[in-house]
């Protein structure tokens, strides 16, 4: 179900956040002024932090450009601005001041930065700050890439989905109707009605973008990049600029909904011919990257069709021979964000590795593998310039910033480069984070993070929260989020128990795969085992004041735990948990089976539809939480959003109604304008305040 989530606390925010844009586009959001009281990290403090977006290193390696977004709670918005700083360290210079926001910075040369703003592509001289309009795109622009010589550009724009001709007459004279007529599946995806789809076009760049003569790279029927996650990482120019390699799942409608089989295609610009490089590989193939000499192409490859969380293999294609080689055949971890070294002798990639996202290097000649970065952090992406690595890095205790690493060193901690949030973070007392390996019910070792309460005092006892991860195949890593933020929970005065239960990647393929078809099995035992271990071994945790929370599969976990929260040995009233909060969780599998949109997910993780009645489906659907409502005995808060098309809002409404009919204390927080995530600033603050209020009410009073 991919990554999901959210979190909470409270404090005084003093905003002097906006001024008029010189371009007349509205208010420009400036850095908020905030008073951090007693070092407490609250939702308001979290939202005052700058959010770093994309970054790019200049061709000479001396400058780093990045986008940085601040948010205005009163305006309920944020906008990104462009900054540039020396890679040797020092102060950053702000390049733009507009309300529209800038994105996709790309260096043309050492003095010229290209970027997007609204539906425009522009350039800016980083010394004079003088801008130039390069092109205006009527259907919008989502991002672009340059050829190595800077003379061509591939850009993403959206094309409208054409209505089926047979239904056109039905709309005659009805220009104000809002009705939708669909005759195939995949009419909605994650959080959007599929009214348009992305396409990539290639054209010349010579002072301006030659939009008039742009050529479509992909057949107009298919989306590229792939929704909902794909961006500019899904295509690349060859070093000589003569070809484009790209990702595409050439399916539509029902076929698209039932399959994850995307492929890597090689497009020749001169004659428009296309070749499928990954034909016969049945899972996701994505994010291709040419070697520096153009002789090889590397990409991320999954083996099985219909399985979104299969191991991401490092596949390398020899352009001359057509031979494909799996560089991770003997490596039990997946890769992402592949990059070649300048000499082509190694490939670097981010690897989910035992609770952290780390950079590993893969030797092309002998296939040896070494770990480059090391520490308690997540590296979410990086750029390689010579022997210098510029990594976008987070941890449970700090948001995205740039750290630098040396390519030639192994297992080293990075050096922080950007410091735009230090003035606030230096005022905050973050909760201590500990790594614990807990023995599971079947004798295996499970990594569980323990985050201590803010201002921890070892002579006191505190309530605790079990965090149930979404996904279901997602690692509980050192992630930072403005949704589920462990330090906000810590700031509210809670221990947080965060297990990497069965189904979490980063601990080998077998551990990850154990969850499919067994949602009510070992993964749930893992949650209960971790909770009991800390309740019994941490005297500072009040055993009778433990709650549980989670989103998506984590929300399902809450509903399932609610039905199995009785007659538990070792707890005073037989209840392990005294309060629950479920966000956008699966409640009724019969409903979920037919209400979701990517049906390959149901087929893989549940075994198929409920009417097929195979051993796997019978086991899966027997673990639907709605079947255990008669055992519910614990206060429950339900959160759900209208534009979540993966797990629709009726799931949350049904769970809440069931709790009320059971006579339980219950609360329903509904967002009519949010998706699988709660992203709008004011909605997020309400989410967080509700979260803290709910657990304070049930675990502190």
Positions annotated as catalytic residues are 552, 644, 676
Whether 276 contacts 265, CB under 8 Å = yes
Which residue from 374, 544, 535, 511 is spatially nearest to 450, judged by alpha carbons? Answer: 535
First to last CA, the chain: 35
Residue 215, preceding peptide bond in cis (omega within 30° of 0): no
Whether 29 contacts 70, CB under 8 Å = yes
Chain-centroid distance, C-alpha 681: 18
Q: How far is CA 604 from CA 75, 398, 614, in A?
A: 43, 36, 13
Taking the CA of residue 203 as centre, how many other CA atoms within 13 Å lie in the half-sphere pointing to its CB? 20
Give dist(CA 65, CA 481) in Å, integer: 23
**DSSP string covering 186-215, please?**
-SEETTEE-SEEEEEEEEEEESEE-GGG-E
Which residue from 679, 678, 699, 687 is spatially nearest to 453, judged by alpha carbons? Answer: 699
Give dist(CA 392, CA 400) in Å, integer: 6
Q: Please name the residue that has the structure tokens 């050439």.
A: 250
Whether 114 contacts 134, CB under 8 Å = yes
**Burial class of residue 419 in the structure, from the number of CB atoms within 10 Å of its CB (0-12 exposed, 13-18 middle, 19+ buried):** middle
**Structure tokens belonging to residue 85:** 């700083």
Continuous segment of H or E residues that includes residue 586:
none
Strand 131-136 and strand 143-146: pairing? unpaired
**Structure tokens belonging to residue 94:** 């702000």
């Amino acid at each position: 179900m991919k990554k999901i989530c959210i979190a909470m606390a409270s404090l005084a925010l003093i905003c002097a956040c906006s001024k008029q844009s010189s371009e007349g586009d509205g208010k420009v959001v400036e850095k908020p002024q905030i008073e951090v009281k007693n070092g407490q990290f609250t939702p308001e403090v979290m939202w005052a932090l700058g959010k770093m977006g994309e970054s790019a290193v200049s061709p000479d390696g001396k400058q780093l450009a990045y986008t940085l977004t601040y948010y205005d709670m009163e305006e309920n918005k944020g906008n990104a601005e462009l900054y540039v700083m020396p890679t040797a360290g020092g102060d950053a210079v702000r390049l733009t001041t507009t309300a529209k926001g800038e994105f996709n910075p790309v260096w043309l040369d050492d003095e010229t930065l290209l970027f997007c703003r609204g539906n425009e592509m522009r350039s800016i001289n980083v010394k004079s700050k003088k801008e130039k309009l390069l092109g205006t795109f009527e259907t919008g622009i989502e991002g672009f890439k340059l050829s190595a010589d800077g003379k061509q550009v591939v850009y993403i724009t959206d094309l409208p989905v054409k209505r089926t001709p047979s239904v056109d007459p039905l709309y005659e004279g009805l220009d104000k109707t809002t009705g939708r007529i669909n005759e195939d599946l995949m009419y909605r995806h994650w959080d959007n009605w599929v009214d348009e789809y992305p396409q990539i076009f290639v054209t010349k760049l010579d002072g301006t973008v030659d939009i008039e003569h742009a050529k479509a790279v992909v057949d107009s029927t298919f989306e590229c990049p792939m929704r909902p996650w794909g961006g500019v990482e899904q295509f690349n120019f060859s070093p000589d600029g003569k070809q484009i390699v790209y990702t595409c799942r050439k399916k539509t409608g029902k076929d698209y909904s039932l399959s994850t089989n995307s492929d890597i295609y090689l497009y020749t610009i001169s004659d428009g011919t296309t070749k499928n490089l990954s034909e016969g590989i049945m899972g996701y193939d994505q994010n291709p990257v040419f070697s520096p000499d153009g002789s090889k192409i590397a990409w991320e490859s999954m083996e099985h069709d219909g399985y979104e969380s299969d191991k991401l293999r490092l596949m390398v294609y020899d352009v001359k021979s057509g031979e494909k080689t799996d560089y991770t055949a003997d490596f039990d971890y997946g890769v992402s964000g592949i990059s070649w070294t300048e000499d082509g002798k190694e490939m670097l990639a981010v690897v989910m590795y035992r609770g952290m996202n780390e950079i590993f290097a893969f030797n092309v000649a002998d296939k040896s593998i070494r770990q480059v970065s090391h520490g308690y952090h997540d590296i979410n992406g990086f750029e390689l310039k010579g022997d210098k690595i510029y990594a976008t890095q987070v941890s449970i205790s700090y948001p995205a910033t740039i750290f630098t690493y040396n390519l030639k060193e192994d297992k080293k901690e990075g050096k922080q480069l950007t410091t735009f949030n230090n003035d606030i973070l230096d005022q905050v007392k973050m909760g201590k984070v500990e790594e614990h390996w807990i023995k599971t019910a079947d004798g295996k070792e499970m990594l569980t993070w323990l985050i201590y309460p803010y201002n921890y005092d070892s002579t006191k006892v505190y309530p605790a929260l079990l965090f149930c991860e979404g996904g279901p195949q997602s690692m509980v890593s050192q992630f930072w989020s403005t949704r589920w933020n462990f330090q906000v929970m810590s700031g509210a005065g809670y221990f947080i128990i965060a297990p990497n239960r069965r189904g979490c990647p980063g601990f080998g393929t077998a551990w990850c795969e154990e969850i499919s078809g067994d949602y009510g099995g070992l993964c749930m035992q893992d949650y209960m085992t971790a909770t009991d271990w800390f309740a019994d071994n941490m005297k500072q945790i009040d055993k009778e004041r433990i709650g549980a929370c989670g989103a998506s599969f984590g929300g399902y976990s809450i509903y399932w735990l609610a039905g199995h929260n009785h007659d538990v040995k070792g707890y005073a009233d037989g209840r392990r948990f005294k309060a629950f909060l479920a966000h956008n969780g699966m409640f009724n599998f019969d409903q979920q089976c037919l209400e979701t949109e990517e049906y390959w997910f149901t087929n893989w993780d549940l075994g198929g539809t409920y009417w097929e009645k195979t051993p796997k489906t019978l086991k899966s659907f027997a673990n639907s939480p709605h079947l255990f409502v008669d055992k519910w005995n614990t206060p429950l808060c339900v959160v759900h959003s209208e534009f979540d098309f993966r797990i629709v809002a009726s799931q949350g409404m049904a769970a809440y109604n069931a709790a009320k009919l059971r006579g339980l204390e219950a609360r329903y927080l509904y967002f009519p304008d949010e998706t699988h995530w709660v992203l709008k600033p004011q909605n997020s603050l309400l989410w967080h305040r509700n979260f803290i209020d709910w657990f304070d009410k049930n675990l502190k009073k």
